[in-house]
Structure 1
Amino acid sequence: MPGYKKAWLPGDLAAGLTVGILLIPQGMAYAMIAGLPPVFGLYAALVPQLVYALTGTSRQLAVGPVAMDSLLVASGLGALALTGIEEYIAMAVFLALFMGVLQLAFGLLRMGFLVNFLSRPVISGFTSAAAIIIGLSQLKHLLGVEIPGSNRIQQLVSHAAAALPDTHLPTLGLGLAGIALIVGMKKWVPRMPGSLAGVVAGTLAVFLLGWDQAGVKIVGAVPAGLPEFGLPELDMERVSQLFPIALTLALIAYMEAISVGKAVEEKHGKNRIDANQELRALGLSNILGSFFQSYPTTGGFSRTAVNDQNGAQTPLASVFSALVVGATLLFLTPLFHYLPNAILAAVIMVAVFGLIDLKYPRELWKNRKDEFILLLATFALTLGLGIVEGILLGVLFSLLLLVYRISKPHIAILGRIRGTDYFKNINRFSDDIEEFPEFLILRFDGQLFFGNKDYFRKELVKHTRQKGPDLKFVILNAEAISYIDSSAVYMLRALIRDLRRDGIRLLLAGAIGPTRDILFSSGLAEEIGRENQFVRTFEAFEHCRTATGKTEMERKVSTQSARPPV
Structure 2
Amino acid sequence: MAYLERLARILPAFEWLPDYNKKWLRGDLSAGLTVGVIAVPQVMAYAMLAGVPPIHGLYASLVPLIVYALMGTSRQLASGPVATSLLIIAAGLAGLAEPFSPEYVGLVLLTTLMVGLTQVVMGVFRLGFIVNFLSRPVIVGFMTAAPLIIASSQIGNLLGLELTQTQYITDLFVGVFAQFSNIDTLPLGIGMATIAIMLGIEFFKPSAPSALVVMVLGIVAAWALNLEAYGLEVVGKVPAGLPAFVLPTLDLELMRKLIPTSLTVALEQCMVVMSLGAAFAAKHKMTVRPNKELIAVGAANTMGSFFGGVPVSGSFSRSAVNDQAGAKTPLANLISAGVVALTLMFFTPLFYHLPIAVLAAVIVVVALKLINIPQIRYLLKTKRRDAAVAFLTFGATLVLGIQTGILLGVAASVFLILWRISRPEIHELGRVPGTDEYRSLDNFSNAKVIPGIYLLRVDSSLSFANAETIRQKLLEPTTSTGKGFKVIILDATGINDLDTTSATMLAGVSESLGERQIELYIAGAKGPVRETIERSGLDKELGKTHFSLTVDEAVQRVQGIPEGDATVVPKTRAS
Q: For the Cα contact (< 8 Å) 1:440–1:464, is it kept in 2?
A: no
- After TM superposition, the structure 1 = structure 2 runs for residues 234-245 of structure 1, keeping only pairs within 5 Å, are 234-245=250-261
Are 2:403 and 1:376 equivalent residues in the alignment? no
Are 2:534 and 1:520 equivalent residues in the alignment? yes
Residue 69 of structure 2 is aligned with which of 31, 53, 71? 53
Q: For the Cα contact (< 8 Å) 2:74–2:277, is it kept in 1?
A: yes
Residue 135 of structure 1 is aligned with which of 142, 146, 151? 151
Aligned letter for 2:276?
V
Query: CA-to-partner distance for each residue in 1:230-278, whole Å, 9 max, x for gaps?
Result: 11111111011011111111111111111112111122122x1111111
Task: Report the equivalent of 1:222.
Answer: 238
Residue 402 of structure 1 is aligned with which of 394, 404, 417? 417
| SS of alignment partner, residue 432 of structure 1 | coil
Are 2:181 and 1:165 equivalent residues in the alignment? yes
- Residues in 1 aligned to 2:101 and 2:109: alpha-carbon distance in whole angstroms: 12
Are 2:474 and 1:460 equivalent residues in the alignment? yes
Aligned in 2, Cα 1:464/1:206: closer, same or farther, shift over 3 Å?
farther
Task: Report the equivalent of 1:359.
Answer: 374
- After TM superposition, the structure 1 = structure 2 runs for residues 527-538 of structure 1, keeping only pairs within 5 Å, are 527-538=541-552
Query: CA-to-partner distance for each residue in 1:273-328, whole Å, 9 max, x for gaps?
Result: 11111111111101111110112111111011110010000000000000000100
Query: CA-to-partner distance for each residue in 1:38-68, whole Å, 9 max, x for gaps?
Result: 1111011111100000001001111111100
Task: Report the equivalent of 1:325.
Answer: 340
Task: Report the equivalent of 1:11.
Answer: 27
Residue 490 of structure 1 is aligned with which of 504, 507, 516? 504
- Residues in 2 aligned to 1:84 and 1:309: alpha-carbon distance in whole angstroms: 36
- Residues in 2 aligned to 1:95 and 1:515: alpha-carbon distance in whole angstroms: 46
Q: Displacement, 1:457?
A: 0.3
% identity of equivalent residues = 44
| SS of alignment partner, residue 171 of structure 2 | helix
Q: For the Cα contact (< 8 Å) 1:118–1:395, is it kept in 2?
A: yes
Q: Displacement, 1:164?
A: 3.5
Task: Report the equivalent of 1:414.
Answer: 429
- After TM superposition, the structure 1 = structure 2 runs for residues 20-419 of structure 1, keeping only pairs within 5 Å, are 20-81=36-97, 85-270=101-286, 272-419=287-434
Query: CA-to-partner distance for each residue in 1:424-446, whole Å, 9 max, x for gaps?
Result: 122211x2221235221111112
- Residues in 1 aligned to 2:427 and 2:176: alpha-carbon distance in whole angstroms: 56
Residue 514 of structure 2 is aligned with which of 492, 500, 503? 500
Q: Displacement, 1:389?
A: 1.3
Q: Displacement, 1:82?
A: 5.6
Aligned in 2, Cα 1:181/1:411: closer, same or farther, shift over 3 Å?
same
Q: For the Cα contact (< 8 Å) 1:437–1:467, is it kept in 2?
A: no
TM-score (norm 1): 0.94
Task: Report the equivalent of 2:494.
Answer: 480
Q: Displacement, 1:541?
A: 2.0
- Residues in 2 aligned to 1:118 and 1:197: alpha-carbon distance in whole angstroms: 37
Q: Displacement, 1:548?
A: 5.0
Q: Displacement, 1:81?
A: 4.6
- Residues in 1 aligned to 2:104 and 2:415: alpha-carbon distance in whole angstroms: 36
| SS of alignment partner, residue 372 of structure 2 | coil
- Residues in 2 aligned to 1:30 and 1:313: alpha-carbon distance in whole angstroms: 27
- Residues in 2 aligned to 1:479 and 1:140: alpha-carbon distance in whole angstroms: 61
Number of equivalences: 548
Residue 459 of structure 2 is aligned with which of 432, 439, 445? 445
- Residues in 2 aligned to 1:482 and 1:83: alpha-carbon distance in whole angstroms: 53
Task: Report the equivalent of 2:7.
Answer: none
Q: Displacement, 1:104?
A: 0.6
Task: Report the equivalent of 1:426.
Answer: 441
- Residues in 1 aligned to 2:113 and 2:187: alpha-carbon distance in whole angstroms: 37
Query: Once structures 1 and 2 are overlaid, which stretch shifts more, 349-358 or 455-464?
Result: 455-464
Task: Report the equivalent of 2:3.
Answer: none
Query: Once structures 1 and 2 are overlaid, which stretch shifts more, 309-318 or 537-546?
Result: 537-546
- Residues in 2 aligned to 1:305 and 1:469: alpha-carbon distance in whole angstroms: 63
Aligned letter for 1:511?
A
Q: Displacement, 1:461?
A: 2.1
Q: For the Cα contact (< 8 Å) 1:440–1:467, is it kept in 2?
A: no
Aligned letter for 1:415?
G
| SS of alignment partner, residue 397 of structure 1 | helix
Task: Report the equivalent of 1:560.
Answer: none
- Residues in 1 aligned to 2:269 and 2:88: alpha-carbon distance in whole angstroms: 10
- Residues in 1 aligned to 2:446 and 2:99: alpha-carbon distance in whole angstroms: 76
Q: For the Cα contact (< 8 Å) 1:128–1:355, is it kept in 2?
A: yes
| SS of alignment partner, residue 480 of structure 1 | coil
Structure 2: where are the runs of 5+ without partners? Answer: 1-16, 565-575
Structure 1: where are the runs of 5+ without partners? Answer: 551-566
Are 2:18 and 1:2 equivalent residues in the alignment? yes
| SS of alignment partner, residue 414 of structure 1 | strand
TM-score (norm 2): 0.92
Aligned letter for 1:365?
L
| SS of alignment partner, residue 475 of structure 2 | helix
- Residues in 1 aligned to 2:215 and 2:110: alpha-carbon distance in whole angstroms: 30
Aligned letter for 1:247?
L
| SS of alignment partner, residue 412 of structure 1 | strand
- Residues in 2 aligned to 1:82 and 1:263: alpha-carbon distance in whole angstroms: 39
Task: Report the equivalent of 1:563.
Answer: none
Q: For the Cα contact (< 8 Å) 2:556–2:563, is it kept in 1?
A: no
Task: Report the equivalent of 2:524.
Answer: 510
Aligned in 2, Cα 1:463/1:37: closer, same or farther, shift over 3 Å?
farther
Query: Once structures 1 and 2 are overlaid, which stretch shifts more, 503-512 or 5-14?
Result: 503-512
Aligned letter for 1:369?
R
